[in-house]
């Protein structure tokens, strides 16, 4: 472990907080800024999408159950593909996040951490 | 359909709909009838126990350090962890309860299972990798990273232990009823058996044994449920249309089972329950702990993806199983008696196992249901014991100055203590309605654990005072509103009308928690608050890049 253990007990320390120089180098590296911006945006978009999908479904159940009861193919109602669609969207959204994060974002992370050496 | 069956189905549907929204243990409520001793099931279960005890012995020889005990040394792969998370999360109550709900009212079962799934993407996008980068053994490691170790760990441990306690009681009572039902064993014997086995797994094998028990259980459950769904589809000629048509033809509600029924009563309840399920999943201590068993953030992300896939697939299976039960079980007098399904509402999947695979497969599924309970309670107990030994003992009591040996010893005693407590509570609550407890566990996790975890990671301004105020408010309001709500005030305490009208408190308790965190932080002008805010930089870099994060321990 390379980080220092915190005393945790703030009362004894002064308000001056020492930040290790390698941490500051990472913080100020372009790769880190890029990583935060891209990943932050991506996870915000995907989180919003999931919330919209799920709460859209829940609100449809609460306010328009008869809409979900519309038959689309024989006895199959609109609610069935929509419900299964929510399940699949959860799997797909996590899948596409991992794909980008374990590739692009991790490459940026490696670049950012490399700047610690100065 | 004869009038008799019609009446039976009516009763069944009514029972399913009365089940409180926020509690998937609902199907396990009430007294199960004791069945004749089921030898096939017992033999298969004995085989499972023998295998898992063998694994526990193997794991115990590899478990030396704290890191081994709490996190299997961080050496679990993303795929293995994904399976283990699925094994930790898919309880017997959700297998039997959701398929019973589908059997009783069709589409409503789907609404229920979706709620339990949508928390996973949220964990992925907001929590998983940063949790892995910042923490070591418990989520309190993360919440207290730059805040006051003593008070934040006490708060986190309180959130952990109350969540674990309510979840554990629901599981133990469910286990006793289920085993009485499936194996024909006495309720008390069943509860003691579950408690003792869970103590043995965790005390001797730590996280490594717990992980493998969960992996094996997940494979058995997914395999068994896949087989049942396959046999159902074969019966209807692999036509989804035919499955629904046949189910509609024999179900008393007819076409109504294809659309939302009475499960969602009003928008407030629906949204409140949705919040509890979505964000509660991201605050369940035994789930969060699993992210420390992998070596880095990349593996943590993979874990969530595999877990989401397995759990989503499982819920699709329970939907097919529920509809299959309508067609194959609900029409066969062999599985029915004058009160409805032989053995109770939650027997739909069990009877279907017999209908598609005979006595041997029935024994297999019964043994899987038992194994499922063991895997879930083992994970719960380990996370509770870790909160006691790592957060309370090592950090609060000993201020971090403690060696591995002492901490592990405390953890093992805590495991035994929690195990005994679980047995006692299981016996005490036998005749109580515990259906609200799973919902309460999710509400506490969403209102106490999740807000302080999330804000400590993403908001520089969070201070110790804010976290204590918000987390405390969330914990107290979730419990209080549940007690004053219909599930406890009316159904358990017997009052005529509830003081708080909704079953699910999360909409209110989560709001209070976030407001409390915000208000307590922005009004905090102390020197400590300034330091905590200044330390955010170092935490941010580590959270985002994993720089300085704990890796896998080397042996």
How would DSSP label each residue in B37-106? P-HHHHHHHHHHHHHHHHHHHHHHHH--SHHHHHHGGG-B-HHHHHHHHHHHH--HHHHHHHHHHHHHHT
The answer to the question of residue A97 being in a domain is yes
Q: Give the integer Cα–Cα distance in Å for B350 and B362.
A: 7
For residue A97, with 0-12 CB atoms within 10 Å meaning exposed, 13-18 middle and 19 or more buried, which class applies?
Answer: buried
Task: State the smallest CA–CA distance between residue A118 and chain B in angstroms.
Answer: 14
Residues B24, B174 contacting (CB under 8 angstroms): no
> CA B148 to CA B407: how far, in whole Å?
21
pLDDT greater than 80 at residue B196: yes
CB-based contact (8 Å) between B540 and chain A? yes
B128/chain A closest Cα distance in angstroms: 11
Residue B344 predicted with pLDDT over 80: no
CA distance B359 to B265: 40
pLDDT confidence of B553, banded at 50, 70, 90?
low
Residue B107 at interface with chain A, using a CB cutoff of 8 Å: yes
Report how many domains make up chain A. Answer: 1
The pLDDT tens digits for B239-282 are: 999 999 999 999 989 999 999 987 777 788 888 988 999 999 99
Interface test with B, best of A6, A27, A96 (most B CBs within 10 A): A6
Judged by CB atoms closer than 8 Å, whether chains meet at A94 and B258 is answered as: no
Give the pLDDT of residue B448: 96
Predicted structure pTM score: 0.90
Q: Pick B121's closest partner by Cβ from A50, A57, A66.
A: A50
Quick one: closest CA in A to B125, which residue?
Answer: A43
Query: Domain limits of chain B?
Result: 3-545
Q: Do A15 and B527 touch (CB under 8 A)?
A: yes
Q: Is the pLDDT of residue A9 over 80?
A: no
| Mean of the per-residue pLDDT values of chain B | 89
Q: Which residue has the tokens 């769904």?
A: B229
Q: φ, ψ for residue B199 (rounded to 5)?
A: -60, -45
Closest CA to B381 of B71, B175, B161: B161
Contact between chains at B118 and A54 (C-beta distance less than 8 A):
yes
Burial B176-197 (b: 16+ CB within 10 A, else e): bbbbbbbbbbebeebbbbbbeb
CA distance A19 to chain B (A): 7
Q: Which CATH number fits domain B3-545: 2.40.50.140, 3.40.50.720, 1.10.357.10, 1.20.1730.10?
A: 1.20.1730.10
Q: Is residue A67 part of a domain?
A: yes
Is there a domain that residue A6 lies in?
A: no
Quick: pLDDT tens for B285-331: 999 999 999 999 999 999 999 999 999 999 999 999 999 999 999 88
**Of A13, A47, A80, Cβ closest to residue B258:** A80
Is B298 part of the contact surface with chain A (CB cutoff 8 Å)? yes
Residue of chain A with shortest Cα separation from B109? A83
Asked if the structure places residue A57 within a domain, the reply is yes
Report the run of H or E that residue A26 belongs to, with start and end. helix A21-28
Q: Does residue A12 belong to any structural domain of this protein?
A: no
Give the pLDDT mean for B32-55: 83
Task: Give the model confidence (pLDDT) of B222-236 as tens digits.
Answer: 999 999 999 999 999
Q: pLDDT class for B32, splitting at 50, 70, 90?
A: low
Q: For residue A26, give its domain range.
A: 21-117
**Distance separating alpha carbons of residues B534 and A6, to the nearest angstrom:** 13
**Tens digit of pLDDT for each residue in B79-90?**
999 999 999 999
């Amino acid at each position: 472990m390379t980080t220092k253990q915190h005393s945790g007990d703030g009362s004894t320390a002064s308000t001056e907080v020492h930040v290790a120089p390698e941490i500051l180098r990472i913080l100020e590296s372009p790769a880190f800024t890029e990583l935060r911006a891209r990943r932050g945006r991506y996870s915000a978009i995907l989180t919003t999408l999931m919330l919209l999908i799920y709460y859209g479904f829940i609100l449809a159940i609460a306010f328009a159950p008869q809409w979900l009861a519309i038959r689309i193919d024989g006895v199959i109602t609109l609610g069935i593909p929509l419900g299964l669609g929510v399940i699949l969207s959860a799997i797909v959204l996590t899948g596409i996040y991992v794909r980008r994060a374990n590739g692009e974002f991790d490459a940026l992370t490696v670049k950012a951490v490399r700047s610690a050496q100065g | 359909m004869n009038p008799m069956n019609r009446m039976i189905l009516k009763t069944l549907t009514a029972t399913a709909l009365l089940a409180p929204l926020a509690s998937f243990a609902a199907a396990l409520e009430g007294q199960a009838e004791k069945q004749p001793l089921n030898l096939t099931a017992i033999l298969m279960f004995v085989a499972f126990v023998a295998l898992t005890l063998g694994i526990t012995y193997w794991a115990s020889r590899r478990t030396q350090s704290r890191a081994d005990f709490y996190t299997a040394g961080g050496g679990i792969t993303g795929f293995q962890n994904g399976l283990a998370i699925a094994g930790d999360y898919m309880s017997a109550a959700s297998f039997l309860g959701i398929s019973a709900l589908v059997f009783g009212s069709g589409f409503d079962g789907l609404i229920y299972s979706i709620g339990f799934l949508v928390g996973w993407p949220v964990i992925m996008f907001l929590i998983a990798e940063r949790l892995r980068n910042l923490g070591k053994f418990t989520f309190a490691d993360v919440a207290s990273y730059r805040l006051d170790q003593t008070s934040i760990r006490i708060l986190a441990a309180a959130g952990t232990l109350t969540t674990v306690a309510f979840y554990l009681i629901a599981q133990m009572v469910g286990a006793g009823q289920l085993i009485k039902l499936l194996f024909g064993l006495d309720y008390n014997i069943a509860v003691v058996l579950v408690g003792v086995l869970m103590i043995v797994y965790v005390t001797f094998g730590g996280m490594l044994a717990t992980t493998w028990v969960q992996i094996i259980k997940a494979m058995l459950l997914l395999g068994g449920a896949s087989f049942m769904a396959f046999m159902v589809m074969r019966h209807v000629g692999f036509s989804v249309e035919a499955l629904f048509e046949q189910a509609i033809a024999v179900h008393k509600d007819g076409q109504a089972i294809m659309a939302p029924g009475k499960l969602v009563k009003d928008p407030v309840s629906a949204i409140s329950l949705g919040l509890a399920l979505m964000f509660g999943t991201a605050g369940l201590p035994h789930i969060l702990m699993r992210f420390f068993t992998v070596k880095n953030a990349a593996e943590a992300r993979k874990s969530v993806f595999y877990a989401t896939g397995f759990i989503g697939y499982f819920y699709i299976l329970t939907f097919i199983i529920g509809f299959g039960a309508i067609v194959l079980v609900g029409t066969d007098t062999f599985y029915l008696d004058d009160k409805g399904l032989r053995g109770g509402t939650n027997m739909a999947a069990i009877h279907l196992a017999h209908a598609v695979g005979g006595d041997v497969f029935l024994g297999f599924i019964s043994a899987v249901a038992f194994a499922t309970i063991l895997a879930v309670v083992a994970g719960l107990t380990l996370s509770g014991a870790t909160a006691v030994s790592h957060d309370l003992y090592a950090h609060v009591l000993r201020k971090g100055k403690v060696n591995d040996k002492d901490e592990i010893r405390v953890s093992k005693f805590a495991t035994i203590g929690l195990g005994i407590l679980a047995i006692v509570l299981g016996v005490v609550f036998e005749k109580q309605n515990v259906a609200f407890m799973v919902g309460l566990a999710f509400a506490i996790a969403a209102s106490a654990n999740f807000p302080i975890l999330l804000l400590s990671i993403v908001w520089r301004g969070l201070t110790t005072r804010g976290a204590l105020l918000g987390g405390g408010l969330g914990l107290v309001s979730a419990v209080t509103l549940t007690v004053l709500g219909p599930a406890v005030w009316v159904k358990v305490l017997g009052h005529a009308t509830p003081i708080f009208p909704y079953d699910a408190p999360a909409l209110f308790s989560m709001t209070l928690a976030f407001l409390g965190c915000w208000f307590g932080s922005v009004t905090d002008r102390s020197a400590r608050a300034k330091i905590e805010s200044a330390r955010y930089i170092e935490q941010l870099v580590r959270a985002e890049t994993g720089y300085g994060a704990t890796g896998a321990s080397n042996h």
